[in-house]
Amino acid sequence: MNNERLTAFARQTGTILATLVGLLILTFCIGRLMPVDPVRAIVGEEADQATYDMVAERIGANLPLHEQFFRYVNDLLHGDFGTSIRTGQPVINDILHVMPATIELATFAIIVGAGLGIPLGILAAVRRNRPIDHVIRFMTLIGHSMPIFWTGMIGLIVFYAVLDLVGGGGRISDYYIGLVPDTTGFLLIDSMLAGDWEVFWDAVNHLLLPASILGYSSMAYITRMTRSFMLDQLNQEYITTARVKGLSKGRTIWHHAFANIRVQLVTIVALAYGSLLEGAVLIETVFSWPGFGQYITNNMLIGDMNAVMTCVLLVGIIFIALNLLSDALYKIFDPRTR
Amino acid sequence: MTANSLDMQDTAMHGSRSGQNSMLRRLFAVIRELLGNPSSGFGLVVITILLLTAIVAPLIAPYDPNIVDLGNTLQPPGAAHWFGTDELGRDILSRIIYGTRISLTIITIVSVIVGPIGLIVGTTAGYFGGWYDTIMMRITDIFLSFPSLILSLAFVAALGAGLENAIIAIGLTTWPPIARLARAETLTFRGADYISASRMQGASSLRIIVKSIMPMCLPSVLVRVTLSMATVILTAAGLGFLGLGAQPPLPEWGAMIATGRRYMLDNWWLVAFPGGAILLVSLAFNLLGDGLRDALDPKQR
């Protein structure tokens, strides 16, 4: 038994390692394919041949490809993700600097998405094929089909330009910039720590629209999944048994059906949280939100190779980790998978 | 003898001799079922309109999509310009009409690339198993560990911005889920009696895969490809919007929104109509995909 577990563990570790190596090969290829000469990008256009050769030697640009790859992996293992060509800073520092803005946005969005999506999904399943189910399914379908950058702009036109209810682009109004000390990078937390409620509410005002629009797209996904999980449960015989035994409908739904889909829901919400990175790329561009999404896009447009490679690697690792987490959750909470 | 019995097996599998007549009849039956349901009917109609618009674009577009008219810039929607004009005085409706050609090109090329690749990789991996399967599935795992837009972005950054590279990048990110699906389907058929029977009759692996396994996977792959097209439209528009896909002055809907963004707060029609077109087409593919699933794949209903 113990031996069996060990084998399973070894196999899973092997799978993860293989995926990671593949991921590294992928990011390496993307970096090498980029139409940017890394040496030229560092030394500039006017540098003479001697300087060029020296820098090429130092960063290993003239080594054979496989040696360059080993060098890349070796650097990564030593925590060196390379230096951004644009800022001259270590890429990882730049990313850590922009991450809080995106986490703030995504966290708000997932609260909206899960907070609305799970109840709506349950409601749609319980009232299957009734008018309310059709309305909810139509809403989720629109959420799936809309180009999120467009929704963001329509939101800006309606709620900012016409109704003037929310702040425009950016995390905060221009005249509040730099008023609170940058302790954690999370603007809401920083302004609370500083006790500056004016800044806090201004930040909330700016966060509301982009986060709601991101949240709508993840709500669409969460609602759809919740509905189908719930339908699976409601069609099972134990539900009929519980009802026949005289349990009320509400009790059956909450204590039996919903209890059984909680693990699935947690994993879905975790994956949806990760997928927000994708929407963040577009929404951050629309709202001039200085986060990870905008950082990726800007560096891709100017061809900052090290930054792009690290961002892609990071996104890949986040998703692999989320998938592992959801597998682990199933194993812990669902005895059948043991 | 062998040929004869294989023929019989074919007959048994498809229910009738798969002549052109019965294929056509089946196609009409599927279309009728799609039109019978309001939502999938809507999807089918929208996509048919998209197709026709792309074909006859020069005939129905009221203006030349690229003609600059600086005396008529940023006109709101009205009788002369139903969807208004942009910052260079170009007619937005005409640009959206010509934009259908770009969207259709993207969809056609991507589905022609990813459908067969996904089908071949998935069926062979599922049928042969072993190390080949392991390697192929690890590769799809790596691709699947990214949201499709971010991976497409990375590929476009590597290959250079532009419509062709955007299509390649989208294709590269779209095949893995299809391969996964085809493999899962193949695994369920692999042990079936009729596969063993044709193997015992001496059919080669190639023949079994092409003649017996692929046709069985085709319906669900078709459904999956249709549903992927909704994502493909959104990803292509997203790339265009970020300036990494089709480049202006091409009338690609995402790129139109990107240029309109500067003027949008006072001129909503610059972004509202192209975005509406994207939403409509993406919605249509989602609805058609769901409808096709009901029509072709009753077991998933």
Interchain contact, A300 vs B154, CB within 8 Å = yes
At A278 the pLDDT is: 82
Which chain A residues are within 8 Å of B234, Cβ to Cβ? 145, 147
Question: Nearest by CB to B257, which of A29, A149, A301?
Answer: A149
Interchain contact, A282 vs B153, CB within 8 Å = no
How many whole angstroms from its chain centre is CA A154? 23
Amino acid symbol at A217? S
At B301 the pLDDT is: 43
pLDDT at B287 exceeding the cut of 90: yes
Question: Nearest by CB to A297, which of B147, B148, B242?
Answer: B242
Nearest one of A289, A286, A284 to A153, comparing CA atoms: A286
Which chain B residues are within 8 Å of A15, Cβ to Cβ? 138
DSSP letter at A236? Answer: S
CB B166 within 8 A of CB B246: yes
Interchain contact, A285 vs B156, CB within 8 Å = no
Interchain contact, A308 vs B154, CB within 8 Å = yes
H or E element that contains A174: none
Confidence band of B158 (pLDDT split at 50, 70, 90): confident
HEC string of B149-166 equals HHHHHHHHHHHCCCHHHH
At A306 the pLDDT is: 84
Confidence band of B11 (pLDDT split at 50, 70, 90): very low
Confidence band of B3 (pLDDT split at 50, 70, 90): very low
- Whole-angstrom Cα distance, residue B7 to residue B275? 51
Backbone angles phi, psi at A184, to 5 degrees: -105, -15
The per-residue pLDDT of chain B, averaged, comes to 86
At B12 the pLDDT is: 46
Q: Which of the residue ranges A183-192, B31-40, B49-58, B238-247 would you say has the lowest mean pLDDT?
A: A183-192
DSSP letter at A83? Answer: B
Contacts of B66 (CB under 8 A, 6+ apart): B90, B249, B251
Interchain contact, A22 vs B139, CB within 8 Å = yes
User: Which residue's structure tokens are 């999904």?
Assistant: A121
Interchain contact, B157 vs A34, CB within 8 Å = yes
Nearest one of B276, B282, B296 to B43, comparing CA atoms: B282
Smallest CA–CA distance from A279 into chain B, residue:
B149
Which chain B residues are within 8 Å of A286, Cβ to Cβ? 261
How many whole angstroms from its chain centre is CA B60? 25
CB A198 within 8 A of CB A207: no
- Whole-angstrom Cα distance, residue B107 to residue B102? 9
- Whole-angstrom Cα distance, residue B136 to residue B129? 10
Nearest one of A8, A315, A218 to B151, comparing CA atoms: A315
Give B91's strand partners: B85
* Residues of each domain in chain A carrying CATH 1.10.3720.10: 92-333
Burial label for B187, CB within 10 Å (0-12, 13-18, 19+), is middle
Question: Nearest by CB to B243, which of A161, A281, A301?
Answer: A301
Using a CB–CB cutoff of 8 Å, tell me whether B266 touches chain A: yes
pLDDT at B2 exceeding the cut of 60: no
DSSP chain B: -HHHHHHHHHHHHHSS---HHHHHHHHHHHHHHHHHSHHHHHHHHHHHHHHHHHHTHHHH-SS-TT---GGGTTPPS-SSSTT-B-TT--BHHHHHHHHHHHHHHHHHHHHHHHHHHHHHHHHHHHHH-HHHHHHHHHHHHHHHTS-HHHHHHHHHHHH-SSHHHHHHHHHHHHHHHHHHHHHHHHHHHHT-HHHHHHHHTT--HHHIIIIIIHHHHHHHHHHHHHHHHHHHHHHHHHHHHHTSSSPTTS--HHHHHHHHGGGTTT-THHHHHHHHHHHHHHHHHHHHHHHHHHHH-GGG-
Amino acid symbol at B19? G
How many CB pairs lie under 8 A apart between chains A and B? 135
Using a CB–CB cutoff of 8 Å, tell me whether B287 touches chain A: yes
At B297 the pLDDT is: 67
Using a CB–CB cutoff of 8 Å, tell me whether B282 touches chain A: yes
Confidence band of B7 (pLDDT split at 50, 70, 90): very low
At B6 the pLDDT is: 44
Which chain B residues are within 8 Å of A29, Cβ to Cβ? 158
CB A99 within 8 A of CB A291: yes
Using a CB–CB cutoff of 8 Å, tell me whether B24 touches chain A: no
Which chain A residues are within 8 Å of B230, Cβ to Cβ? 144-145
Give residue-wise pLDDT tens across range B83-116.
Answer: 988 888 899 999 999 999 999 999 999 999 999 9
At B9 the pLDDT is: 47
pLDDT at B134 exceeding the cut of 50: yes
Burial label for A44, CB within 10 Å (0-12, 13-18, 19+), is exposed
CB B59 within 8 A of CB B77: no
Using a CB–CB cutoff of 8 Å, tell me whether B160 touches chain A: yes
At A115 the pLDDT is: 94
Quote the pTM value: 0.87
> Percentage of residues in chain A with pLDDT exceeding 70?
98
Which of these CATH numbers, 3.40.605.10, 2.60.40.10, 3.50.50.60, 1.10.3720.10, describes A92-333?
A: 1.10.3720.10
- Interface test mutation site (partner B, options A29, A162, A300, max chain B beta carbons within 10 A): A300
Which chain B residues are within 8 Å of A301, Cβ to Cβ? 242-244
Tokens of B256: 């139109």
Q: Mind telling me how many Å the CA of A322 is from chain B's nearest CA?
A: 9
- Whole-angstrom Cα distance, residue A171 to residue A101? 8
Smallest CA–CA distance from B139 into chain A, residue:
A22
Question: Nearest by CB to A153, which of B138, B145, B271?
Answer: B271
Q: Mind telling me how many Å the CA of A30 is from chain B's nearest CA?
A: 5
Average pLDDT over residues B204-233: 90
Nearest one of B47, B238, B139 to A18, comparing CA atoms: B139
Which domains occur in chain B, in start order?
Answer: 6-296 (1.10.3720.10)
pLDDT at B236 exceeding the cut of 70: yes
At B55 the pLDDT is: 92
Give residue-wise pLDDT tens across range B164-173.
Answer: 999 999 999 9
Confidence band of B34 (pLDDT split at 50, 70, 90): confident
Average pLDDT over residues B278-294: 92
Low-confidence ranges of chain A (pLDDT < 70): 1-2, 334-338
The number of beta carbons lying within 10 Å of the beta carbon of residue A80 is: 13
Confidence band of B18 (pLDDT split at 50, 70, 90): low
- Whole-angstrom Cα distance, residue A109 to residue A94? 23
pLDDT at B290 exceeding the cut of 60: yes
H or E element that contains A85: none
CB B239 within 8 A of CB A278: no
Cis upstream peptide for B215 (omega within 30°): no
Interchain contact, A147 vs B145, CB within 8 Å = no
Question: Nearest by CB to A22, which of B138, B155, B261?
Answer: B138
At B8 the pLDDT is: 45
Question: Nearest by CB to A278, which of B150, B257, B264?
Answer: B150
Interchain contact, B142 vs A26, CB within 8 Å = yes
CB B145 within 8 A of CB A23: yes
- Whole-angstrom Cα distance, residue A206 to residue A186? 14
At B141 the pLDDT is: 84
Smallest CA–CA distance from B244 into chain A, residue:
A301
